[in-house]
Amino acid sequence: MTPMTPMTATQAIDKPMSALLLVLSLEEEAVSRVLRHLDPEDIRTLHQLASREFAPTGPRLTAAYQGFLAATREPVLPTGEGSAYIERLAQRSLGREESKIIFQTRDTEVPFSDLERRNAKAVATVLEGENPRVIAAILSEISAAYAASVLAHFETALRVKVMLRLASLDQIPTQTIDALHRAVREQLSNVEAESGIPVDGIGRAASILQRLPMAEAEDLLGGIGEGDPGLAFKLRRQMFSFEDLVNVQGRGMQTLVKEVSNDQLLLALKTASDALKDKILTSVSKRAAEILIDDLSAMGPVKLSDVERTQQEIVDMALRLEAEGKIVIAGRGGEELV
C-alpha cells in the first residue's frame, strides 16, 4: 500500500471546509460566539459539510490554520481608517454622546475635564444653588458615569428639573461653557479650601499597622485599646477579613461556628474560598456539613452586599472571641492553644 503523503498548505482545501475544520477544533463556548456572526446560509453550509464522512486529520487542520493565518496577515481596514473604526465601536458600546466626549481634541484642555478629578459630593454642593439649565449644561460636558454620581447628591425635585433641561439641550455656545468652567472651578477651590481634604483615618492607620511586624502592631493596638477600646476594635476590624478566618487555630473554629446561625453561615459561605469552606465544614458534624453543601448548591443568586455584611458580622464575632481569649488566630500575636 502506498503511504499517504501529508497534506500541505498548498493542497486543495476550500474555504467552507477550512471554516468547518477551524470550528471543530475550538471549544463549544468559542464556537457559539463565532456562529453568532455567521449568516444562516453559512451555518447551513457548515452543517451539511459536517454530515459527510471525513477525517479531520492533523495535516488538514494544519492546512486550515495556515490558510487562516495567511488571510489574517493583511490589515482588515485600509491604512488611515483605524481611528474611524475605533470611534464606531465606541459609539456602539458607549453611545454617541459618551464617545463624543472621549474623542474631543486634546490640543487644548476640554472644559470640565478636570472636574472629574474632584469629589462628586463637593461638585454637587457647588452646583445645587445654580439654575437647573446651568447644571444641565455642565453635566452635558462630563462623562455620564461622573454626571450620575453628581446627580445622586441632588434632591429629587432638582434631579427632575436638571434632567428635563438636559434632555432638551441641543447646542451650547462655546463662550458660555468656558465661562461656566471658570466660575465652577473658582467656587470649588473656595469650597475645598474651607472644608479641607477628606481623609480615611481608620483605613490609613489600619494599612500602616498591617505593614508593621506583628508584635509591634499588637503593642500599638494594645496601647490604643487602653485609651479607646472602641477605636482599637475598629482598627482590628479594618485589618481583618473574612478569609483570614482560615487561620483560626485548633478547635477555635468550632467555638466560632457555635456563635453563628445556620442562615448566617450559609450566606457567608457563598463567596468563601475552598480553603475556608473546608475549614468550616470540617468543624461541624458530618450531617451538618452535608446539609450546608446541599443548601449551597441549591442557593440562588443573592446580593453581594448581603453576603459581605454577614461576613463582617462573623468577623466581628471572631474578633470578640479572640479578645476574650476563647480563640486564637494565627499571625495575630497570640500563641496556638494546646
pLDDT in tens, 245-266: 998 888 899 999 999 998 999 9
What is the topology classification, in CATH, of domain 105-195?
Annexin V; domain 1 (1.10.220)
Percent of the chain's residues with pLDDT above 70: 76
pTM beyond 0.85, yes or no: no
Same fold, 105-195 and 240-323: yes
User: What's the chain's average pLDDT?
Assistant: 77
Task: State the DSSP code for 130.
Answer: S
Cβ-based burial of 64 (10 A; exposed 0-12, middle 13-18, buried ≥19): buried
Contacts of 41 (CB under 8 A, 6+ apart): none
Q: Considering only CA atoms, which of 197, 172, 38, 182 is closest in space to residue 114?
A: 182
pLDDT at site 5: 39
pLDDT at site 334: 43
Domain boundaries, the chain: 15-72, 105-195, 240-323
Dist CA 282 CA 215 (whole Å): 30
CATH architecture for the domain at 240-323: Orthogonal Bundle (1.10)
Q: Considering only CA atoms, which of 258, 257, 231, 261 is closest in space to residue 245?
A: 257
Spans of the chain, pLDDT less than 70: 1-13, 53-56, 71-85, 87-89, 91-114, 189-199, 331-338
DSSP string, 134-153: HHHHHHTTS-HHHHHHHHTT
pLDDT at site 74: 60
pLDDT at site 25: 79
